[in-house]
Amino acid sequence: MTTVLLLFYYRQGLLKFVVSKENKMSKNKIDGIMRKGVQSVFTVKEKTFLTPHYIRVKFAMNDEQLELFSNVQTGGHNKLFFPDETRRTYTTRHIDFVEKELWVDFVAHGDNGPASAWANRTSPGDRLAIGMKEGRRPLFPEVDEYLFIGDSTALPVIGAMLEQLPANVQVQVIMEIPGKEDELKLCSEAHLATRWVYNSEPEQNSDLAALVRNMEFSGGNRFVFVAAEYDTAKNLKNYFRNELAWPSETFSVVSYWKRGESEDQSSAKRREERQLSV
């Protein structure tokens, strides 16, 4: 089955488009599961500064898009295709099938990067191409206790994970944000305890790794999730895996950015390290 995909982009001040016929869903096999890619061009419905450094963009979804994206995972990754022809990986914060909305949250840091620049300038009526992978694999295993650790870039995925937890579990969240004015209301049916750590200069340093290393971990059925800057993530992954000797299924550590490098540069480095570790 084929469909027509319209990809819009700006070049020399003119709105152009490419029309291509391709499979409705490209296929990728991950962990033995065939996952299909879906993509479409969405229209900005609303933009809100939830805090001084946090922007939520809501995209309107038509009936065809609701059907096309009916099997994607809230909290999963997506690809955003910006007008300058760059692409960036973000989190699908929420899909509301009643209000017909797709939410993507952005950390606002001026024009430092194509995503932040676009989010700062966008307004209702703007259009953006977004692609996602189909599949509803759980974002976390079923355990009794959870510990979620992250910086501002992790707020979307941790927010989505919290909303998917059941009511009978304990979850502790440690979030590093620029300042008190950037605290967000986090919602969960689980028993939630949140600790906000303020860091006005995340490009310079972070105390997250040291803070976690000073925590006392008792025995129990626990899962730890970390999403942070590259050096922090690498530090904590080594701590959990090599120093504490935790089984790999009890924690997950990811890095969304690296100080002084673009996403393309840091992604290339992460791919190279994964190949060397095989």
d(CA 167, CA 192) in angstroms, rounded, equals 10
pTM: 0.83
Give the E-state strand segments of 189-263 in sequence order: 191-198, 222-229, 251-257
Cβ-Cβ contacts under 8 Å for 144 (sequence gap 6 or more): 169, 170, 220, 221, 222
Which pLDDT score is estimated for 140? 96
Mean pLDDT score, 250-273: 76
pLDDT confidence tier of residue 268, bands split at 50, 70 and 90: low
Q: Is the pLDDT of residue 265 over 50?
A: yes
The helix/strand count (H/E) of the chain reads as 6, 15
Structure-block tokens of residue 66:
């609701």
Question: 109, 110, 74, 108: which is closest to 92 by C-alpha?
Answer: 74
Give, rounded to a whole angstrom, the gap between the first and last alpha carbons of the chain.
Answer: 37
pLDDT of residue 263: 65
Confidence of residue 2 (pLDDT cuts 50, 70, 90): very low
- Confidence band, pLDDT 50/70/90 cuts, at residue 220: confident
DSSP state at residue 278: -
| pLDDT at res. 278 | 34
Which of the residue ranges 3-17, 163-177, 258-272 has the most confident prediction, judged by mean pLDDT?
A: 163-177
The amino acid that residue 260 corresponds to is G
162-175 pLDDT tens trace: 999 999 999 999 99
Sort strands 54-60 and 101-107 into parallel, antiparallel or unpaired: antiparallel
* Dist CA 19 CA 7 (whole Å): 7
Query: Looking at domain 37-133, what is its CATH homologous superfamily?
Result: Translation factors (2.40.30.10)
Q: What angle do CA 165, 170, 257 make, to 5 degrees?
A: 65
pLDDT > 90: what percent of the chain? 73
Q: In this predicted structure, which of 21-25, 71-75, 239-243 has the lowest mean pLDDT?
A: 21-25
What integer best gives the mean pLDDT of the chain? Answer: 85
Q: What is the largest CA-CA distance in the chain?
A: 60
Helix ranges (DSSP H) in the chain: 63-68, 114-121, 155-164, 208-213, 230-238, 263-277
Q: Domain-by-domain residue ranges, the chain?
A: 37-133, 145-277
Give the class (CATH, top level) of 145-277: alpha beta
37-133 and 145-277, same CATH topology: no
Label residues 4-25 b or e (16+ Cβ within 10 Å = b).
ebeeebeeeeeeeeeeeeeeeb
pLDDT at 238 over 80: yes
Is the pLDDT at 130 greater than 50? The verdict is: yes
